[in-house]
Amino acid sequence: PTKGRPHHPIDDLIEEADRQQDALLQKESHTLANAVRAYEERRGRRPPPGFDVWFHFAQENNALVIEDFFDRIYHDLNPFWAVPALTIRQQAGDIFHRISIRNGNTSQLSDQPRVWLDLWENLIGTIAQHLPDLDIPINVMDESRVVVPWETIDEYMTVEEKSRRIVPASEVVHKFGKTSVAQDEEVPGFDPQWEGGPYWDRAVIGCHPDSPARSYKAEVDYTVFPPLNNSYPEKSHHGYVANWTYVKQPCEHPQLQGLHGTFVEPISISNSRKLMPLFGGSKLPMNNEILLPPAMYWTDDPFYSGGEEHGTEWSKKKNKIIWRGAASGGRNKDTTWARFQRHRFVSMVNATSIAYAEETGKQPNFELPESGSYDLPSGSLAKWVGEWGDAAFVHLLCFPDTRPPFCDYDDAYYQVKASMPMGEQYNYKYLPDIDGNSFSGRYRGFLGSTSLPIKATIYDEWHDSRMMAWKHFVPMDNTFVDIYGIMHYFLGGRDAAAKKIALEGKQWTETVLRREDMQIYVFRLLLEYARLCDDNREKLGWVSETEKLLLADANAA
């Protein structure tokens, strides 16, 4: 706790994050032998062929190699051990948008030029020389597209677990065989059976049968007040996020069906229940895509990165939050806009809308915190928030969009302001980050800045097992009910704690979220994917030179 201040629940969360980070750092692999041992202990099988080349590539790029960092890969790929390798190859060779590797060179198949595909092809191209021939189907939509029933995935995961074994060195197949379809090969057409319709019903089949979402009666009338609770979120630590994975999980929070644009009405819905090798930049926890680092994280475009500028020194920054963005998140209409996450957040940190709520007890899209629930300054909430809140839309993205950037049905609630380059936003201490149509493309830029990201999301990304809540960023509940408590904690004499997380997050981002770290992740991911595409996958693996020598001696004897 900060000297001279009473103990606060957030102090506990920061201390726990420090402990967890210290424990994680103890697991670093400094040698190839260490890395192999850590792999076999955690994965229950031999590493794939090429693992030594991968490890040396990581070392040459000064990477921190911690086996836990790659958990996401196995979460995404393990169900495919229940699908025949031939099926995976054939599906991959038939899904339309794809990047292919042949003889160490990349190419792409697309209906039109697409920036994301170019960026991903460029990323994969930097490591393609180390990989066998592969077809890598890409989801080019913002929205995630694959939700396989939980029961099916559970069966597949059981198959994977039963197939784990450390194959004896004498049986190991050392080299990849056939990992992609040949140009002249007859491939049976694969029909993913894409479906439209409300997304919630499509998504919840990926939830555990006993989860709250499976029995939740979905809302259809979005004109009534949203299902908000103004007291502490469930399983929080006195109102603050204690379990980041839990907070992001719609299966556990079915009220998100009426509080997040992804479920209210996404821009596009095209979903399959079939497991297929489809790669993308983000997904919901119940989706079954295979995650790549988002294409925008590979770009140098200052719109997403803030460019070379990471912000002035902490003491010179404004002691406020800054948020500018479009009213995205899905298709907001006059009957639904009050259910969208970005609209709710902007209203909640806007002094005028809070003052109106304090005077009338009414607001269309948020609730004032329950009195006494959070430790907040006494007096007018609006006046206090007015001292630090600066959030505004740059475009209201009405549907239909008759007079952009304004909007007939919610003009009365929102003032449209000019956009602000990310480099300029870094002159503020606090950077809230809220989901748009899917994940937010500015998050890596925020993490790498000298300001403090305050993050709310329901989306998973490639880096989730390497970023620690309360150590590298501040987590926020998706209702945003905790935003006032978070801000009071930092503004109420704990500036040093905010600075510590901001700068430790920046330093960690420069250690584990570099472009090189994305290459290392994708290299490892595609080695594992290649093994799944090979008919010999049960015996494919990497064997050390020592084991080979012992084997040769045994054979000679």
One domain for residues 281 and 309? no
What's the pLDDT at 302?
A: 60
What's the pLDDT at 279?
A: 98
| Secondary structure (3-state) at 458 | coil
What's the pLDDT at 554?
A: 84
Q: Are 438 and 282 in contact (CB under 8 A)?
A: yes
Looking at the domain assignment, is residue 275 inside a domain? yes
Give the tens place of pLDDT for each residue, 321-355. 999 999 999 999 999 999 999 999 999 999 999 99
What's the pLDDT at 310?
A: 78
Looking at the domain assignment, is residue 478 inside a domain? yes
What's the pLDDT at 197?
A: 85
| Secondary structure (3-state) at 44 | coil
Say if pTM beats, i.e. exceeds, 0.85: yes
What's the pLDDT at 4?
A: 63
Contacts of 305 (CB under 8 A, 6+ apart): 299, 422, 444, 445, 448
What's the pLDDT at 142?
A: 85
Looking at the domain assignment, is residue 151 inside a domain? yes
CA atoms within 13 A on the CB side of 420: 17
Please tell me the distance from the alpha carbon of residue 557 to that of residue 552, in angstroms, as a whole number.
9
Query: What's the gap between Cα 278 and its chain centre?
Result: 16
Give the tens place of pLDDT for each residue, 174-211. 999 999 999 888 888 899 999 998 899 999 999 999 99
Looking at the domain assignment, is residue 220 inside a domain? no
Looking at the domain assignment, is residue 237 inside a domain? no
One domain for residues 305 and 421? yes
One domain for residues 302 and 443? yes
What's the pLDDT at 172?
A: 97
Report the 3 state secondary structure along 121-152: HHHHHCCHHHCCCEEEEECCCCCCCECCCHHH
What is the DSSP-derived secondary structure letter of residue 254?
Answer: G
One domain for residues 386 and 531? no
What's the pLDDT at 3?
A: 60
Looking at the domain assignment, is residue 214 inside a domain? no
What's the pLDDT at 11?
A: 98
Looking at the domain assignment, is residue 51 inside a domain? yes
Hunting for tokens 């029909």 — which residue is that? 191
Looking at the domain assignment, is residue 199 inside a domain? no
One domain for residues 64 and 175? yes
One domain for residues 341 and 276? no
- Provide the terminal-to-terminal Cα distance of the chain, rounded to the nearest Å: 67
As for how many domains the chain has, the answer is 2
The residue segments making up the domain with residue 183 are 35-192+271-294+515-556
One domain for residues 99 and 144? yes
Supply 495's token pair: 């500036």
One domain for residues 75 and 157? yes
Please tell me the distance from the alpha carbon of residue 15 to that of residue 398, in angstroms, as a whole number.
44
Task: Tell me the C-alpha to C-alpha distance, in Å, between residue 32 and each of 50, 167, 512, 545, 546.
Answer: 12, 19, 19, 11, 12
One domain for residues 453 and 531? no
Asked which of 482, 497, 512 is the last residue of a domain, the reply is 512
Question: What parts of the chain have a pLDDT lower than 70?
Answer: 1-4, 301-309
CATH number for the domain that contains residue 499: 3.40.50
